[in-house]
Amino acid sequence: MDWDDLQKREKEFMKGGKHNLRHNISSAGVSDIAGQFFCEYKVENAYTLGEVPTEATSEGTSFHDELIPQKPISREGFIKLVKQKKPTFAVLRVWGKLGDIQVIGMPDHIVWNEERPRWLVELKTTKGDPTTLWPDQRAQVVIYGALLEKMGFDCSDLQLAVVRVKAKDLSDEEKMLWVMLVSKHLAEGRIEELEAAHKGKMKVYVLKHDVAEAETAVRAMQGYWLKEREPYSSTSLNKCLACAYRDQCPKSLTRSA
Ligand code: SF4
């Protein structure tokens, strides 16, 4: 990787945005695009009404921080770390053009080896059954992988994983060692063993890195950002019942329930 060139291209990318997407932004967030797969109106509400804090989201954020603790390092420190022969862990902002829009995001966890991303991992905490992979979760991790490749990283051996966890059921020690535990089992191909040891509380979905799938996912959603159409709203009462905006959302199906 030519790190100076990457830095130059990133600066140009950030400067090149024209604030011409919906909500006057230059780049759509990966998590927002993924959110459109759940309910596009929820993304719209987050912009127009602001984030609504709920017990579930603040609990999810605190589990997230416990399981993947992060501290900032310098650019030089990052480069030195990811160049190593042994697997190392570090994340960086990912960016690039997919479909007809600029996209930007921050993955949860990346395992590196000699400047090559080997595993890109998204952690999804849940209170319920972890054995379902939702379309938004799949889209999110596939888009992150595609952006890494667009940035110029060698993604020929990249694999993607979504790990769904009932974090509440993990012991303090399991939480503390979570990153090491998951990374090691992924790298050694011992996923079944990891799941068996955490039966009912952890499920690992391994996905193929696929830029074409990411392009298709973004193209399916970009009309909203390009202001070509108004946001779709959920047709599922259960989604609305579980939604933080159910009492404020003009499209909430709970009104007629
Ligand atoms: S209440 Fe229903 S329609 Fe409104 S944002 Fe939530 S899920 Fe979407």
CA of 219 to the centre of ligand 1 (A): 22
Q: Is 43 in the pocket of ligand 1 (CB under 6 A)?
A: no
Instruction: Give residues with Cβ within 8 angstroms of 69, minimum separation 6.
Output: 179
Q: Which residue out of 57, 248, 252 has the highest number of ligand 1 atoms within 8 Å of its CB and is therefore the one to mutate?
A: 252
Mean pLDDT in consecutive groups of 10 residues from the start of the chain, 257 residues? 95 87 96 96 95 73 79 94 93 96 95 95 83 90 98 96 85 83 89 87 92 98 97 94 92 81
Q: Which residue out of 246, 248, 254, 255 has the highest number of ligand 1 atoms within 8 Å of its CB and is therefore the one to mutate?
A: 246
CA-to-CA distance for 189 and 185, rounded, in angstroms? 6
pLDDT of residue 133: 85
CA of 36 to the centre of ligand 1 (A): 11
pLDDT of residue 234: 94
Q: Is 246 in the pocket of ligand 1 (CB under 6 A)?
A: yes
- Give pLDDT tens digits for 122-132: 988 887 777 78
CA of 228 to the centre of ligand 1 (A): 21
Which residues partner with 88 through β-bridges? 112
Q: Is 124 in the pocket of ligand 1 (CB under 6 A)?
A: no
CA-to-CA distance for 53 and 65, rounded, in angstroms? 17
Domains of the chain in sequence order: 3-256 (3.90.320.10)
pLDDT of residue 256: 65
Structure tokens, 11: 């600066």
Structure tokens, 25: 């932004």
Is the separation of the CB atoms in 56 and 127 below 8 Å? Answer: yes
Which residues partner with 112 through β-bridges? 88, 117
CA of 191 to the centre of ligand 1 (A): 35
What is the pTM (predicted TM-score) of this model?
Answer: 0.93
Q: Which residue type, as a one-letter code, is found at position 248?
A: Q
Closest CA to 78 of 3, 135, 185: 3
pLDDT of residue 131: 78
pLDDT of residue 57: 72
CA of 165 to the centre of ligand 1 (A): 25
Q: Which residue out of 32, 40, 42, 57 has the highest number of ligand 1 atoms within 8 Å of its CB and is therefore the one to mutate?
A: 42
Is the separation of the CB atoms in 202 and 171 below 8 Å? Answer: no
